[in-house]
Structure 1
Amino acid sequence: MFRVGAAVLCALWCLVACVVVGVRVQERGAFDVDIQNLLPRTALEPVIRAAVADAGTTASQRVAVLVTAKDPNRAQDAAADLERSFVAAGFAPDHAQGEAVGRWLFANRNQLSCSADPARFDPDAVVRRSQVLLYSPLAPVSGGMLEKDPFLLTLQLAECLSPPSGGQIGESVLVSGVLTSSAYRIDVQDRIADTFAGWQGRWPGVEASRAGVVFFAQDAAHQTRNEMALISGISAVVILALLLACFRRPHAILGTFAVTTAGAVGSLAAAFLLFPSVHVLVFVFGSALIGVTSDYALHYLATGPQTGWASRKERLKVIRRPLAVCALSTSLGFAGLGLFGVEVFNQVAVFSVAGILTAWWFTMTLLPFLDPRPKNAEKLSGWWNWLERPFLAFRWRRAYSVIGLVIVLGAIGLGVARFSVLDDVRQFQPRSAELSAEEARLREAVGFSSSPKFLLSFGDDAQEARRREEAVLASWPEAAARDVLAVSRFDPSDTRRRENETRLRDQVFTPHLAERAQAVGIDKVDPFSVTTPPPALPPLVSSLEGAASGLHYLVAPLGATASALPARDSEGSRVVDPTARYTQAFATFRGLAAGAVLATFAACALLVLLLYRTWRALFILAAPTVGVLMAVALPSALGMPVSFFSVAALFVVIGVGIDHSVFLFEANETNGQSKELVVFLAGLTTILSMGLLGLSGTFPVASFGIAVAVGVTAAYLCSFVPVNVRGKSGHAIRQD
């Protein structure tokens, strides 16, 4: 029975949900975008997580542009203009950092060494290099410097320890630095891209090679935005036209939009009420709600022309049980995600179940008020019946079943033969060929390359962490050890500091200082003078140090040479590859999601057996089963690997497939109104709203869309296979 009180309660919940969402989205940290929160927890996890965050921030905010022109002076002027423009857009150039690094190296020159391994220290090489620098026309040598640093240790350390920090490189000029805000913010990406494009317009004929996450992220975001705008625009126009063509009144559009919006708001509000923050990955699963909840609205709206707009009570009676079965079965499927004990899956379970139940509640209480009886009800009913006539005239033949079975088995066989998976996040979206070529040119010119890997060293305090990092670097080849930006190279442990100073005193200063002073004509030499006040550790280095869970850790980003070494863990040190960790996360959750799909089928089987009291009702699951098999098999047969995102799409296939089967089953069992047209309409809108995502050039989006399109189509076709499911006791005819 239709009750106004239930409608009032539903309206109040929707209002409260809107308030909760409106308040929470204003809070900082309402949405969790850290992919690390998907990773399994271990005893060392807080340290690794903090280190990955530090390394990611340091690497992602780096920007470098190599400016080249036929005229070196023009290259200098263009580079200066670019640096000024970048600074205005939120950029801190490296030369400011270079000054801080220079002061630190000078103050600590006698306690640092270019050799990571003390056994490889060569005093003669130090003396020879100082001789070369002494007479180099480009070296900034002065009498005052020679009095305190007669062997030019500061310049030697700057060459071997510091990464390139901008300036002249051959006939090119390097502009490098860090962004003052996250490279993953869209406004930052657009601002830097617009600044660079404007600079290019001002300097025709000047070439620039870029490197930096911000450029790749902006290119990917621009491509994705254009794709999504085009695909969403096309699907929205087609769906609107389809609804207007079938229902011939705007109420259908308003009702469908209202139900899906209510489901979305209800799901997000429930998640915000139960969790301090909601992970963005939740929305991958949550997107399934669009296809499922819109079907609820369509099934009620279709009762209008089917019954000639009977009373609300009569119209609701037609869909009460099948819609409840659909909502319960889909909710049970998503609730099964909460059985794995994974935080993000718990969020998905709450988000999805709340959205489905809110949409069902809205459909059963408030939607009837949005679809009043039209003045031309008879005409609209006649139009609906005319549209449905071809579906009713269609007769399924046994040959169709044979052909369908051959297609399904063939797809499964070929899919098994060509089955593969893709969890590597580096392959989710193709990198720009132009930007990749520019980055390669810049790395070749600068002579330094970076990788996402880093050496993590940790201990009970800062000294222990430094000693462990020093031990690892000492065991590496010299070329690899120099290809690391390590804290301990700039700020060694107290033990290593004393060793370095003793070595310099005994092997460099004692045998060679008098000769050097005489050679440069300096009477008073004080190589061990102390800088007061002592300078602070440069931010370039201090940002690579931190503490978590009572442990002190150091992050040492690796270059290409160092990252190519075989990874060997030692006590208190290990090489961490963030990309591998993210790949592991997607592989783990792909497996868990597949398990959740099986749990969904088990829950739905129990539900239909409980409601219909006959094992023949299990045939309701035949269509979604075929849909899931084809959603996996057919893309695999065509060479598309299975990913976490394609498995997530299976929840859409299950939800929509069960909707189709339940409504057709109910229509057959109760001799009710035909459902062929509305089931076709529900499937088609799902394909249009999400299946068209398969046209995207981004792998996660495309794999999700293709799986939805294939699975929903297969489930729809299979749902029309005639099966005698009526039991002798006639349990299926009970409406309550």
Structure 2
Amino acid sequence: MLLLVAALGYQLTANKQLPIETNILALLPKNDQDPAAQQAFDHIATSMSNKVIFLVGSPNSATMITAAEQFSLQLAKLGLFANIDAKMSNSQQQAWVQLYYPKRFQLLTPAQQQRLTHNPHQQTEQVLQALYNPFSGVTGAELKHDPFLLFRDFLTQLSAQSGHFSLNHGFLSTQYHQRHYALITAELAGSSYSVKLQHQLPALNALQKQIINQYSTATKKVDILHTGVIFYAAHGTQSAEQEISTIGLGSLLGILVLLVVVYRSPLPLALALLSISCGLIAAFVGTVAIFGKVHLFSLVFGASLIGVSIDYAFHYLTDRLAAGKDWNPHQGLKHIFVAISLGLITSLIGYLGMLVAPFPGLQQLSLFSAIGLIAAYATVVCWYPSLASKPCSPRPLPCRQLLNAWLQLWHLASVRWSVPLILAIASLVGLYHTHYDDDIRQLQALPQQLKQQEATIKAITGVSSGQQMLLVKAKTAQDLLTKLAAVDQQLDKLVINHKLDSYQSIGHYLPSIATQKHNFELVKHLYQQQGSELDKKIKLSQPPQFTATFQPLTIADYLASPVSKPLRFTWLGKINQSPSEQNYGAVILLSGVNQLSAIKQLAVQDSQLSYLNKADEVSQLFGQYRQRVTELLIAATMVILALLVWRYKLKKGLQMIMPSVIGGCAGIAITSISGTPLNLFNLLALILILGIGIDYSLFFAELKSTDNDHHRRSTLLAITLSALTTVLSFGLLALSATQAIHSFGITVLTGIIIAWLLAPLAMTPSSPAPTKAGVK
């Protein structure tokens, strides 16, 4: 333990940050089927998660601009962001022209391509219409360098694809419900899951309130909307911290009250805290040593370990209380050693079984619980005989009459068969109505206010922050650009048919070199065919001459330009399809998928396309692993039953395992009847019920028919105390705002109560008192 404490100190101080993981994605399994898809998702998730979007709105455009300017200036002083994009400089505004204008003769919209291929004379007519339109803004300089006005149409299309925004005093702004909004985007100075950055959010909220109060009037209220992963991550961290406090402290306080009421001595309290502390320290150190970090999710469940690790202590301390002046510490340990050792083994079978599920979160929880239980067990075996060597002051066990009545009740044959049968039938009826929901989103409770702001920002900007996307792959970069153009055409049809609201693709802004060459030839042919005709109609100072040379616009040119910044992260470049195969990849972001089957159909028909939606993918995996855990649960039950039959024979073994089985069925039934959807974690709850419930039966089974009533009462008291602490620990999980944890808590709460209720089934009825003749 001294080594573990030293290791804990090193782990907490070696790095500037605590070894605690808050990223919900760290719980999820990797995509083993398609490494390229996993690589793409990791890249996109990292890029998107560090971005924050703000919208500063007001009914008055001038007020909006003033408030946005002040807000962006103050944002830079917070130290929360590494980069803020607010008011565009002149050089940023000219970036589009600087990138595309020199290549203008090889850049055409799809409509221009069709026109120049089939009806080039229509382009001449379009020039005439623009000249006679007083609002077109055509200048002599523009006609001199681009007489067919091709470039302005190309830029107009790019602007339309960039969203709902237009420039207003340097800000990207738009109108929505008679309000003007200015867009401000920012990149965090670290990870969204950094607790240090999350602690700076109150300062950001204070700044928003300050700007709102400063520029709002009675009739023109300013509002500031925000969205970003960091806000959800901070809420998750705060919720987890609160739940850890509720569960851990609640369990601890409950245990302290029980110890004071039952033992009335500071020694049992100190010993119980020793077991708990050793278990938690060993679990934390071991988990960090193996995984590098402990996830908050594991800590929430691990806090419940308090209610399990204390069980071994209760049996030893209750035996000491019952012995009074006749207490022998080594005999006391010997008396419970077999039971607590078998209890540890059966619990480890349940906990370590979760290592089979390839979810890092479940594996971590499994390891955390197993190490903690072993350390708590070792504390009882190694230290208690020395630390609790002195007998306690003699006094009767608390609730003696109630304990006697309960034990006598379970000696009645009618009770021993009727109660289990009634509970089993009721549980089976409840199981008939079970419904499973494997949605991964149950793992995180999302606050309504943040969800509402995100939905409003999506409506205003037309851009979704969801992670539905298409991964496009090809052998070379140019093949990838060609493929992107083909996929964009298919998606355009889905948008027209209202199966998709919109999408963002780098293919809109960068045609392949082959397409550029084709466009170049079309424009050259246009000048040759229609140059003289245009000159006749508009009387140019000199006839249009095509003197340009082809200079390709490359992906390197595009990525180096500020123009690419909003979508730069969607270009993946080289991706590893397999150890022996490399491809180029890019991602198309989808917004407002109204018909998912149409998107999936595109991916199914094309081996170079993959539909990515991590939430749906993991939800599907949850369903698959739920089936695996079901098989694991059955296997663990069979292994434990075989172990019990080996030691206690068939009839006794079945009596010992029946309370846990019926308790598990009842837990699932009650959870389902309460209207809470079932998921993988309810099956994990069954593993815990099995492991913990067997402990109760084991201690009753270890009672001999010759044991006196005093010994039986002490066993029942210890088991009752254990059940109460477990109910306190796991039952408090039912208070969680996260549905998956809430559901888990209800199942364990119900199952443990039933397992405790039926545990006396494993008890051998006491022998009748000897007669006088028998004595003789």
TM value normalised by structure 2: 0.79
Tell me the amino acid that sits aligned with residue 382 of structure 1.
R
- Unaligned 5+ segments in structure 1 are 1-10, 728-736
2:452 is aligned to 437
Alpha-carbon distance change, 655 to 561 in structure 1, aligned in 2, over 3 angstroms: closer
Residues 10-33 of structure 1, C-alpha deviation per residue, up to 9 Å, x if partnerless? Answer: x46645764785588779999695
Amino acid aligned to 1:373? K
Contact 1:453 1:576 in 2 (8 A): yes
Alpha-carbon distance, 1:275 to partner: 5.8
**Per-residue deviation, 1:365:** 0.3
TM-score with structure 1 setting the length: 0.83
Aligned to 1:495: 514
> Match of 1:455, SS?
strand
The CA distance in 2 between the partners of 1:136 and 1:219, in whole Å, is 55
Q: Distance in 2 between matches of 1:134 and 1:58?
A: 47
Structure 2 counterpart of 1:667, one-letter code? L
Equivalent position amino acid for 2:725 in 1: T
* Separation in structure 1 between the aligned mates of residue 335 and residue 35 of structure 2, nearest angstrom: 54
Correspondence 1:323 to 2:340: yes
SS in 1 for 2:398: helix
**Within 2, Cα distance between the matches of 1:196 and 1:618?**
60
Separation in structure 2 between the aligned mates of residue 191 and residue 655 of structure 1, nearest angstrom: 43
Q: Structure 2: any 5+ residue segments left out of the alignment?
A: 166-170, 214-220, 577-581, 768-776
Deviation at 1:695, TM superposition (A): 1.7
Distance 1:117 1:509, change over 3 A: closer
Match of 2:75 among 86, 92, 97: 86
CA deviations 1:257-279 (Å, max 9, x no partner) are: 33233233334544555567777
Which segment drifts farther, 677-686 or 61-70? 61-70
1:195 is aligned, of 183, 204, 208, to 204
Q: Distance in 1 between matches of 2:541 and 2:53?
A: 41
Q: Deviations over 1:639-686 (max 9, x none)?
A: 222112222222321222111111122234562723111111111111
Give the counterpart letter for 2:758 in structure 1.
C
Of 103-112 and 173-182, the range deviating more from structure 2: 103-112
**Cα separation, partners in 2 of 1:324 and 1:226, compared to 1, 3 Å:** closer
Alignment partner of 1:362 is 2:379: yes
Contact 2:469 2:590 in 1 (8 A): yes
Query: 2: distance between equivalents of 1:133 and 1:262?
Result: 85
Within the alignment, does 1:652 sit opposite 2:688 as a pair? Answer: yes
Q: 1:494 to 1:718 in 2, by over 3 A?
A: same
Secondary structure in 2 matching 1:610: helix
Matched, 1:566 2:574: no
Rounded Cα–Cα distance in structure 2 between residues aligned with 1:513 and 1:85: 58
Residue type matched to 1:298 in 2?
A: F
- Relative to structure 1, the CA distance from residue 345 to residue 237 in structure 2 (aligned partners, 3 Å threshold; closer, same or farther) is closer
Aligned residues: 709
- Deviation sequence 1:185-214 (CA, Å, 0-9, x none): 344344345413432234233123434333
- Quote the offset at 1:138 in angstroms: 11
Look up the match of 2:262: 246
Q: Distance in 2 between matches of 1:25 and 1:297?
A: 35
Deviation string 1:301-350 (CA, Å, 9 cap, x unpaired) is: 22321222723212211211101110111223334445567777666655
Residues 109 and 157 in structure 1, CA contact (< 8 A), matched pair in contact too: no
**Which residue pairs with 2:216 in the alignment?**
none
* Alpha-carbon separation, structure 2, partners of 1:602 and 1:554: 49
Contact 1:620 1:658 in 2 (8 A): yes
Distance 2:678 2:756 in 1: 22
- Number of the residue aligned with 1:64: 53
Q: Secondary structure at the match of 1:365?
A: helix
* Secondary structure of the corresponding residue to residue 720 of structure 1: helix
Distance 1:435 1:272 in 2: 32
Q: Deviations over 1:127-152 (max 9, x none)?
A: 8599779989899x987777656542
C-alpha distance in structure 2 between counterparts of 1:305 and 1:285, whole Å: 31
Q: Secondary structure at the match of 2:330?
A: helix
Match of 2:467 among 436, 448, 452: 452
The RMSD of aligned alpha carbons is: 4.2
For residues 253 and 64 of structure 1, the distance between their equivalents in structure 2, rounded to whole angstroms, comes to 52
Give the Cα separation in 2 of the matches to 1:248 and 1:700: 38
Q: Distance in 2 between matches of 1:282 and 1:517?
A: 79
- In structure 2, do the counterparts of structure 1 residues 686 and 643 end up closer, same or farther at CA, with 3 Å as the change threshold? same
Question: Does structure 2 retain, via aligned residues, the 8 Å contact 1:260–1:293?
Answer: yes
- Amino acid corresponding to residue 161 of structure 1 in structure 2: Q
With over 3 angstroms needed to count, the CA separation of the structure-2 counterparts of 1:586 and 1:676, relative to structure 1, is same
Aligned: 1:583 with 2:622: no
Deviation for aligned residue 1:495: 1.7
Residue correspondence of structure 1 range 43-62 to structure 2 within 5 A? 45-62=34-51
Change (3 A) 1:237 1:272: closer
Q: Which residue of 1 aligns with 2:486?
A: 471
Q: Distance in 1 between matches of 2:110 and 2:371?
A: 61
Q: Where in structure 2 are the equivalents of 1:637-676 lying within 5 Å?
A: 637-669=673-705, 671=707, 673=711, 674-676=714-716
Q: Distance in 2 between matches of 1:572 and 1:344?
A: 32
Percent identity of paired positions between Structure 1 and Structure 2: 21
AA of the residue aligned to 1:421: Y
The separation in 1 between residues aligned to 2:375 and 2:504, in whole angstroms, is 53
Q: 1:466 to 1:367 in 2, by over 3 A?
A: farther
Structure 1 residue 626: Cα displacement: 1.6
Q: In the superposition, relative to structure 1, how do residues 275 and 82 fare at CA in structure 2: closer, same or farther (>3 Å)?
A: closer
Pick from 671, 682, 695 the counterpart of residue 635 of structure 1. Answer: 671
Superposed CA offset, 1:379-431 (max 9, x none): xx415x13444222333253585355334422321331x21111112344454
Instruction: Work out whether residues 616 and 726 of structure 1, in 8 Å CA contact, stay in contact via their aligned partners in 2.
Output: no
**For residues 566 and 512 of structure 1, do their structure 2 counterparts lie closer, same or farther at Cα, with a shift above 3 Å needed?**
farther
In 2, Cα distance between the equivalents of 1:34 and 1:522? 66
Q: Report the Cα distance in structure 1 between the residues aligned to 2:202 and 2:531, rounded to whole angstroms.
A: 54
Q: 1:612 to 1:82 in 2, by over 3 A?
A: same
Is the alpha carbon distance of 1:506 and 1:442 closer, same or farther for their aligned partners in structure 2, counting shifts above 3 Å?
A: farther
Residue matched to 2:770: none
Q: Which amino acid aligns with 2:520?
A: E
**Residue 173 of structure 1 aligns with which residue?**
181
Q: Which moved more, 1:433-442 or 1:268-277?
A: 268-277
C-alpha contact 2:208 2:224 (8 A) present in aligned 1: no
Which residue among 684, 688, 697 is the counterpart of 2:724? Answer: 684
| Counterpart in the other structure of 2:318 | 302
SS at match of 1:476: helix
Does the aligned pair in 1 maintain the 2:701–2:763 contact within 8 Å?
no
Per the alignment, residue 584 of structure 2 pairs with 552
CA contact (8 A) 1:115 1:121 kept: no
Does the CA contact (< 8 Å) of 2:72 and 2:86 recur in 1? no
- Correspondence for 2:774: none
Q: Residue in 2 aligned with 1:711?
A: 751
Question: Where does 1:159-558 land on structure 2 (aligned, <5 Å)?
Answer: 159-163=159-163, 167-170=172-175, 171-180=179-188, 181-192=190-201, 194-204=203-213, 205-226=221-242, 228-230=244-246, 232-271=248-287, 289-308=305-324, 310-338=327-355, 350-371=367-388, 373=390, 377-378=392-393, 381-382=394-395, 385-394=397-406, 395-396=408-409, 398=414, 402=418, 405-416=421-432, 418-429=433-444, 431-478=446-493, 480=495, 483-507=502-526, 511=530, 515=534, 536-537=560-561, 538-546=564-572, 547-549=574-576, 550-558=582-590
Query: Which residue type is aligned with residue 160 of structure 1?
Result: A
Distance 1:286 1:233, change over 3 A: closer
2:131 & 2:664 partners in 1: Cα distance? 70
1:241, distance to aligned residue in structure 2 (A): 1.9
8 A contact 1:487–1:545 mirrored in 2:
yes
